[in-house]
Amino acid sequence: MAPGGRRPGRQGTRAVILEAARASFAEDGYEQVSLRGIARRAGVDPALVHHYFDGKPALFVEVLQLGRDPRGIVEEIAADGSPGHGARLVRAFLEQWERAGGEDRNAPFVNLVQAVAASTDAADGLREFLTERVWSVAHGGDDSAVGQLRRALVSAQLFGVAWDRYLLRLEPFASASIDEVAAWVGPGVEAAMAATLPESGRPRPDPQPEPG
């Protein structure tokens, strides 16, 4: 197809748009990318981008799903009963950001932060993605309150590590290998996975009326 041509709407167009968006976000960051620019790169009419995706935040969150499905990672770790599952989760999480092997390994996470800070839609989309694709693989026996606590604690540690490594570039996290970071943070993640609510924080059943 000649440069500047328009790809007709057909099966596979959505994948072409996603690939163009992934390349654009990696090169230019979140704020500088426009849907029209993505459409031009994909060789499609801009209306097709709006047809498949509800705005730039939704498209950016969709781009995060490329590569290995995080749900599969969590399922593998949950099924493996050997010690060190916290470190494996940290390692798999960091590898998702660095798998592309680009010149600036910090760019993918920095772009994510820009997206969720600039748009509540992006933050909502990311939360929904984590809930549906990752945290829906629940630990057996968790009640709702305990499950929410564990998800929040694990998320805080994983994203805190990424914040220090890719955004603040805080040493020693910034220059350490993924395996080193996983070894440091893994025990804390394991503790978060096993956290329980204090008795005062547990919901209590409604009192039952006295008989008679």
CATH architecture, domain 70-198: Orthogonal Bundle (1.10)
* pLDDT exceeds 80 at position 132: no
Pick the residue with more confidence: 183 or 75? 183
In this prediction, residue 50 carries a pLDDT of 92
In this prediction, residue 146 carries a pLDDT of 84
* pLDDT exceeds 90 at position 166: yes
User: How far apart, in whole angstroms, are the C-alpha atoms of residue 82 and residue 10?
Assistant: 47
Domain residue spans of the chain: 13-63, 70-198
Outline where 29-66 has alpha helix (H): 35-42, 46-52, 56-63
Counted residue by residue, the chain has a size of 212
Q: Which amino acid is at 190?
A: E
pLDDT average, residue stretch 119-132: 74
CATH topology assigned to domain 13-63 = Arc Repressor Mutant, subunit A (1.10.10)
Contacts 24+ apart (CB under 8 A), 5-8: 5/43, 6/43, 6/44, 6/45, 7/42, 7/43, 7/44, 7/48
Alpha carbon distances (Å) from 51 to 11, 56, 63, 92, 128: 13, 12, 16, 33, 21
CA geometry: angle 52, 56, 57, nearest 5 deg: 105
Is the pTM for the entire model greater than 0.85?
Answer: no
Q: Which amino acid is at 95?
A: E
The count of other CB atoms within 10 Å of the CB of residue 53 is 21
**The pair of three-digit structure tokens given for residue 28, joined into one six-digit string:** 């230019």
User: How far apart, in whole angstroms, are the C-alpha atoms of residue 48 and residue 25?
Assistant: 19
User: How far apart, in whole angstroms, are the C-alpha atoms of residue 199 and residue 212?
Assistant: 31
**The pair of three-digit structure tokens given for residue 80, joined into one six-digit string:** 């493996």
pLDDT band at 63 (very low <50, low <70, confident <90, very high): confident
